[in-house]
Structure 1
Amino acid sequence: MFNAATYRTTDYGFFGPDSVSWKLWTAPTAVIGFQRSVVLEHFDASLAAAVADMGGIYSDPQQRLDATLAYFVTVATADSKTAIELSEHLMDVHARATGIEPISSRRYAANNPSSQLWIHITGWHSVLKCYEVYGPGPLSVEDERRYWAESRIAAELQTCDPADVPRDRDEVRAYYERVRPGLCVSERALRGMHYLLRPDGDRASLQLKAAARLIGPAAVATLPAWMRELGGFDQSALLDVAWKVPTRLAVRASQQPWMSEKVIAPFSPLTSQVLRAHRRAGEPVAPEVVTPADARERYGSVNRRVG
């Protein structure tokens, strides 16, 4: 559904040029944050079951991961027509992802609001965390407030309640503490997390294998000890420190947008195209920011299927 020619023609989408979302989701650190978030996704038992049953990360890992990262960047930077149509398509795909979660023997649905909230918070928080650790550093208090406000707008494209999205880092910590007792791992969840950190087999390209092995330790270094221990992918403090310096240097070297596009193109070609379309887009027909509700009324549906 990606079309570079119409990427941002109707309006500035949901955030606009001065938004914090544009800055963070198009930064080189977003790639590290993305790997961090897809690993954390597996702590939700329903999502781990859905990923395992659909099998996309094993049958075509590069396409599956590339399309997911491109989706997040598109929602952040494309016009409202492109973003809403893509989000409606993804919701339809997720509506078919249902089955039995083997730990509880209960039925799962990928569009379940609590699972979607976990995806949303871990995704947006991971991108922020990696921007702080490997990029320019912590946001100002005002920019952080704006970032989480924009995150609640993006949550309107999912089945979760935007009011449940944290408003600042204190609420993020409170959310993690609240859901922590319900997080778990299974054999299939562990397989998924470790595969995402170190893809192997014939289906994973050499480019993806190399990128994941370079980015993985940097992503793990930003995680709290309890997550690393629960997932069985903890690493030494020495490796944390050793990986941070070259990662920061690599991020600094790829700060120019055109360089960032070239760096990720071998293992994430669609995302590279999205970033290029974002960089080259001119002023839209209506140079304004719109709400997801307005966009859905114009271009989408009101269908919110849970599955």
Structure 2
Amino acid sequence: MSDLGLFGPDSVSWRVHREPVLWLAGIRALYLQALHPRAVAGVVQNSDIRRNCWPRLMRTAEYVGTVVYGTTEQAEKAGRRVRRIHDRLRAHDPVTGEEFRVDDPHLLRWVHVTEVESFVSTARRARIGLTDDEIDRYYAEQTRAAALVGLDPGTVPASAAAVEAFYRGIRPELRRTDDARDVARFLTVPPMPARWVVAGRPAWLGLATTAFALLPRWARRLYRLPGLPTTDLAASLTVIGLRGVINALPVREGPIYRDAMRRAEAAARSGSDAAAA
């Protein structure tokens, strides 16, 4: 009961990830990740995302929740599972034909950075209230998550400045390949069960287009879509509104989050009892 996992209740990670609106950040990260030719080739060549997209999205969300709110054992077990899967996967460069490992540290860093930067960027634009120091703390905390997938934490950007420097360094590698275009189209209009289409299609389209608008301007331009300041303003206002609506709904927290809250409460009581004694 005393194991509060990799981060704990005083962490910025627990504060950021309790916000349901961060589902948008996950979609944003997928749009961004697809701009790296090898990263997107590794996905397309090793999975049929059109057939198993919804289970894949749910597994990804569950993984993030386990890493952030699970016990240390649960987080490490989830990381081992991901490393085992990646260890056997190979893909071919779409230009050179060269074979590469999906768990190449360069690609893992790209995926990690785009994910955590998407969470931070979306949280800020939703007015969750993160200071610059808290953002740096979040990035530093998340190097522990990077270690779970096999990265050396010392090679992972651990501050906002380091993340910006990482993006500047990798941008020459990024482009809108045919795979990137197809993945972006798929993310925007994914297949849905017939019973979901009437209500689900417009709702998802709204979420996806908002997530896309949250991308950096340079990323939107790579997709050959406008990178205008007005797009940024509209996206920010939409996220703020969505956060208010979602937080007003009777949304039930997931079992991983509820268990984390019970462990945190038990640890707090134990600390209070020890202090009183």
Mark yes or no: TM-score above 0.5.
yes
Which of the residues 35, 47, 63 maps onto 1:55? 47
How far the C-alpha of 1:280 sits from its partner, in A, is: 4.3
Structure number with bigger Rg: 2
Who is 1:303 aligned against?
none
Matched, 1:283 2:263: yes
Cα distance in 1 for partners of 2:226, 2:57 equals 23
- Distance in 1 (alpha carbons) for counterparts of 2:246 and 2:208: 18
The one of the two structures with greater contact order (alpha-carbon pairs below 8 A, sep at least 6) is: 1
Moved more, 120-129 or 35-44: 35-44
- Provide the rounded CA distance (Å) in 1 between the counterparts of 2:105 and 2:39: 11
What is the CA-CA distance between 1:242 and the residue it aligns to?
4.0
Percentage identity across aligned positions? 25
Opposite residue 123 of structure 2, the aligned amino acid is Y
**Matched ranges for 1:220-259 at <5 A:** 220-234=212-226, 238=230, 240-255=232-247, 259=250
Q: Distance in 2 between matches of 1:140 and 1:237?
A: 23
Query: 1:165 offset after TM fit, Å?
Result: 2.0
Please name the residue that 1:143 is paired with.
Answer: 134
How do residues 1-307 of structure 1 correspond to structure 2 at under 5 angstroms? Answer: 9=1, 11-137=3-129, 139-200=130-191, 206=197, 209-234=201-226, 238=230, 240-255=232-247, 259-261=250-252, 275-281=254-260, 282-283=262-263, 287=267
Q: How many residue pairs end up in the alignment?
A: 266
Q: CA deviation at 1:249?
A: 1.9
Which 4+ runs in 1 deviate beyond 6 A?
A: 201-204
Cα RMSD, aligned residues only: 2.7
Q: CA deviation at 1:133?
A: 0.4
Please identify which structure carries the higher helix content: 2
Q: Give TM-score scaled by structure 1 length.
A: 0.77
Please list every run of 5 or more consecutive structure 1 residues that lacks an aligned counterpart in the other structure: 1-8, 262-271, 289-307
In 1, the alpha carbon distance for the partners of 2:195 and 2:183 equals: 13
C-alpha deviation, 1:55, in angstroms: 2.9
Structure 1: distance between partners of 2:78 and 2:133: 30
Q: 2:159 is matched by which residue type in structure 1?
A: D
Partner SS, residue 214 of structure 2 = coil
Deviation of 1:11 (Å): 1.1
Are 2:31 and 2:212, in contact at CA under 8 Å, matched by a contact in 1?
A: no
Contact 2:214–2:235 (CA under 8 A) maintained in structure 1 = no
- 1:58 touches 1:203 (CA, 8 Å); kept in 2? no
* Distance (whole Å) between structure 1 residues aligned to residue 202 and residue 79 of structure 2: 30
Please give the secondary structure, in 2, of the residue aligned with 1:220: helix
8 A contact 1:60–1:204 mirrored in 2 = no
Runs of 5+ in structure 2 lacking a partner?
269-277
Shift of 1:96: 2.6
Structure 1 residues 287 and 259: alpha-carbon distance in aligned structure 2, compared to 1, 3 A threshold: same
Q: Match for residue 295 of structure 1?
A: none
Residues 210, 110 of structure 1: alpha-carbon distance in 2 compared, 3 angstrom cutoff: farther
